[in-house]
Amino acid sequence: MVTTRIDPERVLRGPSRGRETRGTRVFGAFNTVFLILLCALMLYPFITVLAQSFSSPGAINAGQVSFWPVGFNTDTYAAVMQNETFWRNYGNTVLYTVTGTAIAMVLTTTYAFVLSKPHLKGRKVLIGIAVFTMFFNGGLVPNYVLISSLGMKNTMWAIVLPGAISVFNLLVMKSFFESLPKELEEAAQIDGLGWYGIFGRIVLPLSKAVIATMILFYSVAFWNDWFAAFLYLDKTELFPVTLFLRNLIAGASTTASEGAAAAGTTTALVSSNIQAVTMILTVIPILCIYPFVQRFFVTGVMLGSVKG
Amino acid sequence: MTLTSTERPAAAPAAPPPPRRRKRRQTWREAFRRDWQLYSLALLPLIFFAIFKYGPMVGNVIAFRRFRPGGSIFGDEWVGFRYIEMFINDPSFWHVFTNTAILGGLTLVVCFPLPIILALLLNEVRKRHFKKIVQSISYLPHFLSVVIVVGMLMQLLSLQGTVNQIIGAFGGEGIPFLQRPEWFRAVYVGSEVWQTVGWGTILYLAALTSVDDSLYEAARIDGAGRWRQTWHVTLPGIRPTMITLLILNIGTFLNVGFEKVLLLYNPLTYQTADVISTYLYRVGLVSNNLSYAAAIGLFQALIGLVMVLSANLISRRMVGTSLW
């Protein structure tokens, strides 16, 4: 694999494209306006959900809420936060995310380290074992049968184990390890350090940035997952918060689809309020870390995955 | 995602000629003596792959065997192609197959080119702070759980939601989008664009930086304007990335966002919304016809594999770029 190191500065600067003419200035202005509108469109769903979460059910019912709260109140937040199941499921999400990420990091870093050693006999087979699973997978039913027969249903392991290695992350990590200077490892070998020592004392400390990136990739994936829980967990007290939210949404949509009967509308709308609050509380951790880590995300994706 | 110059997966070494076999075996022993620590590090991940990735692949044999819940996970008795024949003769299967192809095709046609266009537009931005802000905002939807995305869609598209407020402002009649089969595809593809267009630009922006500045210089000397520079220098520069991503997209073409469809559809919209994976989910895990559903799943996975391989082959023949 070719490792192309991308200079983030260069990405931001863009190419130099000669003198400004009137045509390019007009184009530049249109481009700027277009991109601003695009950003507004990208952000709008967040804004409307935020507005709904602070609005009164009556205002939502009347279709008055768009990007600003109408009938401002924090009662819905109070109601959701008093819900014990919500907090319990939120805690489960944290637990699954931390455990899943820890397991995933151990497996991914060790395997990527092994794969990054070009001299290793059988390396191509080891890589092939991983890459093949990107293009062919067992499918839903055999996975379900497997997890059930391993007795993992209604345990955390059904959530955290099957997703433990993302081959994409593995390959990014592998190419990072390959880009580390060989001299350090050679020197360590001469000093009598084994591969365990080289891995733990030399390679890992040099890879803090890529490790941070991978931790974030995995935690976002585990945080957002709902389907594994939906398949394998039956007990409400084990649900992650995404499944809690899914059940709110599914409940609301069946009420709505059962007809435009006036009786149904009030309950559906109260829950649209609650849905908004639950959504906000679920994305908040991601929104909070996002500004600090997106630089890592970007370099993480670019690293080693580009042959220009 | 490994691009182009990755190793061929699992290329089994050709059987060595007899006189060298002995020497070969010895090198394996040497390799183990020298690198046993490395091999031991690979052990846990290999167990993981064996159980959670290759286990289910082998588990697909239940597509050819009668499966009894509680019995062996590999089924009890061979029934041959019974389940395969069953779905080939099942009109509902062909209905969901068509739905899948249409939905996947629309998604590919719409979601593949848009990130390229956005990347080109971003590439023209001179003010780096502005560019950075646009990038940050457009990547954001990529990090949301599909549950959140569907929740947002439901709020936006409900009878009280923004879209219907706008329709109402123009005097139109409110539309319950999520209950109308004719709207499902638009809703699905639209939300897919929202989620993927920004994130999809990353690889293109990276590829754009590797286009040599002197090529632009040369094009300018030849009198090429901005537009022709883009056409003759920029686009050829990112072509390998485009082809690689196209191959990957084609391979996953039939796996249209299963989770999103599952959350978004309802019996009222099955007509257009039901896809292979949701159908096999209902048949297999809701109605418990596990073998039948496994047969459909296997068929889908094989089509996916064949499509990646053929897209790869075609692009290697025609343009000389391939995944491996």
Paired strand residues for B65 = B78
Nearest CA in chain A to B139: A294
Closest CA to A275 of B184, B167, B161, B278: B161
B301-324 mean pLDDT: 80
Interface test with B, best of A106, A141, A148, A281 (most B CBs within 10 A): A141
Of A63-72, A91-100, B10-19, minimum mean pLDDT range: B10-19
Nearest CA in chain B to A10: B209
Distances (CA, A) of A234 to A240, B45, B145, B236, B258: 12, 29, 21, 53, 21
Shortest Cα–Cα distance, B287 to chain A (Å) = 12
Instruction: Check B4 against A2: CB less than 8 A apart.
Output: yes
Q: Is the pLDDT of residue A302 over 50?
A: yes
Shortest Cα–Cα distance, A45 to chain B (Å) = 6
Nearest CA in chain B to A63: B160
Closest CA to B318 of B262, B266, B243, B245: B243
Interface test with B, best of A67, A123, A145, A168 (most B CBs within 10 A): A145
Predicted local confidence at residue A223, as pLDDT: 94
The token pair at B257 is 């966002």
Instruction: Check A23 against B226: CB less than 8 A apart.
Output: yes
Distance CA A165, CA B59 (A): 20
Domain residues of chain B, as ranges? 83-319
Closest CA to B285 of A139, A156, A250, A151: A139
Instruction: Check A141 against B293: CB less than 8 A apart.
Output: yes
The token pair at B170 is 């123009």
Distance CA B107, CA B256 (A): 8
Nearest CA in chain B to A199: B38
Shortest Cα–Cα distance, B153 to chain A (Å) = 8
Q: What is the mean pLDDT of chain B?
A: 83
Distance CA B55, CA A266 (A): 48
B contacts of A42 (beta carbons < 8 Å): 137-138, 140-141, 194, 198
Instruction: Check B145 against A224: CB less than 8 A apart.
Output: yes
Interface test with A, best of B6, B24, B33, B53 (most A CBs within 10 A): B53
B contacts of A127 (beta carbons < 8 Å): 6-7, 9-10
B195 against B255, higher pLDDT = B195
Of A175-184, A244-253, B91-100, B273-282, minimum mean pLDDT range: A244-253
Residue in B58, B179, B206 closest to A302 by CB: B206
Residue in B53, B139, B298 closest to A133 by CB: B53
Predicted local confidence at residue B3, as pLDDT: 44
A199-222 mean pLDDT: 88
A contacts of B35 (beta carbons < 8 Å): 117, 120-121, 195
Closest CA to A252 of A232, A233, A276: A276
Distance CA B216, CA B211 (A): 9
Nearest CA in chain A to B211: A308
Predicted local confidence at residue B25, as pLDDT: 54
Q: Is the pLDDT of residue B83 over 90?
A: no
The token pair at B183 is 């709207």
Distances (CA, A) of B33 to A101, A124, A276, B36: 33, 19, 60, 6
Distance CA A131, CA A109 (A): 16
Of A55-64, B13-22, B102-111, B280-289, minimum mean pLDDT range: B13-22
Nearest CA in chain A to B268: A257
Q: Is A86 helix (H, G, I), strand (E, B) or coil?
A: helix
A1-8+81-303 sits in which CATH class?
Answer: mainly alpha
The domain B83-319: what is its CATH number? 1.10.3720.10
Q: What is the 3-state secondary structure (H, E, C) of A236-277?
A: HHHCCHHHHHHHHHHHHHHHHHCCCCHHHHHHHHHHHHHHHH
Q: What is the 3-state secondary structure (H, E, C) of chain B?
A: CCCCCCCCCCCCCCCCCHHHHHHHHHHHHHHHHHHHHHHHHHHHHHHHHHHHHHHHHHHHHHHHEECCCCCCCCCCEECCCHHHHHHHCCHHHHHHHHHHHHHHHHHHHHHCHHHHHHHHHHHCCCCHHHHHHHHHHHHHHHHCCHHHHHHHHHHHHCCCCHHHHHHHHCCCCCCCHHHCHHHHHHHHHHHHHHHHCCCCHHHHHHHHHCCCHHHHHHHHHCCCCHHHHHHHHHHHHHHHHHHHHHHHHHHCCCCCCHHHHHHHCCHHHHHHHCCHHHHHHHHHHHCCCHHHHHHHHHHHHHHHHHHHHHHHHHHHHHHCCCCC
Predicted local confidence at residue A23, as pLDDT: 75
Residue in A1, A11, A286 closest to B6 by CB: A1
End-to-end CA distance of chain A: 13
The token pair at A215 is 């931790």
Q: Is A213 helix (H, G, I), strand (E, B) or coil?
A: helix
> What's the ipTM?
0.84
A49-69 mean pLDDT: 82
Instruction: Check B52 against A146: CB less than 8 A apart.
Output: yes
End-to-end CA distance of chain B: 11
pLDDT band at B6, cuts 50/70/90?
A: very low
State the pTM of this model: 0.84
Q: Is the pLDDT of residue A184 over 80?
A: yes
A contacts of B259 (beta carbons < 8 Å): 226-227
Share of chain A above pLDDT 70, in %: 83
Residue in A114, A146, A220 closest to B41 by CB: A114
Instruction: Check A194 against B205: CB less than 8 A apart.
Output: no
A247 against A16, higher pLDDT = A247
Q: Is A73 helix (H, G, I), strand (E, B) or coil?
A: coil
* Inter-residue long-range contacts of A200-209, CB under 8 Å, 24+ positions, other chains counted: A203/A113, A203/A177, A204/A109, A206/A180, A207/A109, A207/A173, A207/A176, A207/A177, A207/A180, A209/A296, A209/A299
Instruction: Check A306 against B241: CB less than 8 A apart.
Output: yes
Place of tokens 């004392």: A201
A contacts of B160 (beta carbons < 8 Å): 60-63, 65, 269, 272
| pLDDT tens, residue by residue, A155-164 | 999 999 998 9
B/e letters for A255-265, b = 16+ CB within 10 Å, e = fewer, are bbbeeeeeeeb
Beta strand pairing call for B77-78 and B65-66:
antiparallel
A contacts of B213 (beta carbons < 8 Å): 15-16
Q: Is the pLDDT of residue B16 over 60?
A: no
The token pair at A134 is 């990107």
Predicted local confidence at residue A253, as pLDDT: 53
Residue in A141, A196, A286 closest to B294 by CB: A141
Closest CA to A227 of A110, A96, A102: A96
Instruction: Check B138 against A42: CB less than 8 A apart.
Output: yes
Predicted local confidence at residue A238, as pLDDT: 93
Q: What is the CA radius of gyration of chain B?
A: 25
Instruction: Check B251 against A135: CB less than 8 A apart.
Output: yes
Residue in B62, B73, B305 closest to A136 by CB: B305
B/e letters for A132-150, b = 16+ CB within 10 Å, e = fewer, are bbbbbbbbbbbbbbbbbbb
A contacts of B301 (beta carbons < 8 Å): 136-139
Q: Is the pLDDT of residue B70 over 60?
A: yes
Distances (CA, A) of B255 to A61, A137, A141, A152: 37, 11, 15, 26
Q: What is the 3-state secondary structure (H, E, C) of A4-69?
A: CCCCHHHHHHCCCCCCCCHHHHHHHHHHHHHHHHHHHHHHHHHHHHHHHHCCCHHHHHCCCCCCCC
Q: What is the CA radius of gyration of chain A?
A: 25
Instruction: Check A224 against B144: CB less than 8 A apart.
Output: yes
Residue in A46, A140, A226 closest to B280 by CB: A140
Shortest Cα–Cα distance, A23 to chain B (Å) = 9
Angle at B173 between CA A253 and CA B155, to 5 degrees: 30
A181, A72 in Cβ contact below 8 A?
Answer: no
B80 against A259, higher pLDDT = B80
